[in-house]
Amino acid sequence: MRNLSPLALTLTLGLLAAACGSASVGGGSGGSGGSTNGSGGTATGGSSNSGGSTGSSGGTTGSSGGSTGSSGGSTGAGGVTASGGSTGSGGNHASGGTTGSGGSSASGGAAGNRASGGSTGSGGAGGATSGSGGTTPTGSGGSSGAGVFFSDDFESDTSGKQPTGWDNLIAYNHNATNPMGSLSAVADATHTHNSSKLALHVASDGSMVFLERQLPTGTKHFFVRAYFYMTHQLGMDSTSDNHESLVGISSDPSHTELRFGQMKGAVGVSLASDDNLAPPQAKWNMPPIISANAWHCIEVEFDGTAAYNALNAWSDGTSVFTLTQGSDWGHSAEPATWMSGLFDYVQVGWESFSSEKNDVWIDDLVMSSGRIGCN
């Protein structure tokens, strides 16, 4: 190497320094790439080691400062300016982006999941279950005799006298003398149900003998049940039988109009207004039988609210008669509202259009808007 003058040596060193500064700038640009990766400015800055100690600091600047460092590098040998790249360290603010991770606080929104606790509200559905239970006791009550509006066990009456609270219809005389010869409807102790003291005794040679009482205003559907002990059976009677009445309803207290008992030797009904009867002829003189000389629980339903007015009867809980449609009549079919106007009086006793004698004891009588049964 040839000798250089001091001035030339100075210039040469200056150029070398500038070249190193350029290398630092390149390293800085590598650092800016690090800003893209978030971790980059770290290792690439190592390339800055090729630049002097001054340049290396510039490299550091470049690694964090990015573009700011590059401008520092252009300042060259000043190096001091390159240290201004520390301004680039403000790029650390980028790390503040980690603050953005604070956005994870949004996960606190998961706390909002507590709203799912609203599902507890489904417990309210349990309340609905309790409410439905309330309907059970209400619905079941009617079948056990709810709706009773009259009952009489005849225990408080006087033997040989007409029971109190009743009118009579004897031999077509309303409120006749009772007894009237051999016809009577009085309390006595000859036959009583369930070992009671007294029962109503109806004695008839076939003539009309009834006790009757007025039904509540507005009645269109009711049941009457009593225990009957008769000396004449119902059902499978002789072919000469006409019709007999045991229980009935009427609009006129001096007449019988709709009568349940025996028709043509079979359990059935007759209607006075046109002399119609049921059952049809094919069932005349046929079973079922309600036997004589024994107690029987007989219940009759008069239903003027059915689309086709209906009459049903049971003996000891077993159905013995139904009339629910026009074809159930023995003659021509009655209109659908054939019971209309008949719900004024109820009658119990005996009448035979075949001169059939009968002694009937009646006890524990009940009238109700619902089925009564034999308990």
Q: What does the pLDDT average to over 62-68?
A: 36
Percent of the chain with pLDDT over 70: 61
pLDDT at 238: 86
Least confident of 95-109, 170-184, 223-237: 95-109
Question: In this structure, which CATH number among 1.10.3720.10, 3.40.50.80, 3.50.50.60, 2.60.120.200 belongs to the domain 144-368?
Answer: 2.60.120.200
**Residue among 280, 282, 250, 251 nearest 351 (CA):** 250
CATH 2.60.120.200 range(s) for the chain read: 144-368
Asked if the model's pLDDT at residue 197 lies above 50, the reply is yes
Band of pLDDT at residue 203, cut at 50, 70 and 90:
very high
Q: Give pLDDT tens digits for 124-168.
A: 333 333 333 333 232 322 334 579 999 999 999 999 999 999 999
pLDDT at 74: 38
Asked if the model's pLDDT at residue 117 lies above 50, the reply is no
pLDDT at 61: 35
| Cα torsion angle, 31, 33, 37, 43, sign | negative
Tokens of 129: 């279950």
Q: Which of residues 39 and 251 earns the better pLDDT score?
A: 251
pTM across the whole model:
0.63
| Cα torsion angle, 180, 182, 188, 193, sign | negative
Q: In what order do the strands lie in the sheet containing 276-278?
A: 173-174, 167-170, 209-214, 345-352, 243-250, 258-263, 266-271, 276-278
What does the alpha-carbon distance between residue 30 and residue 126 come to, in Å, rounded to a whole number?
Answer: 69
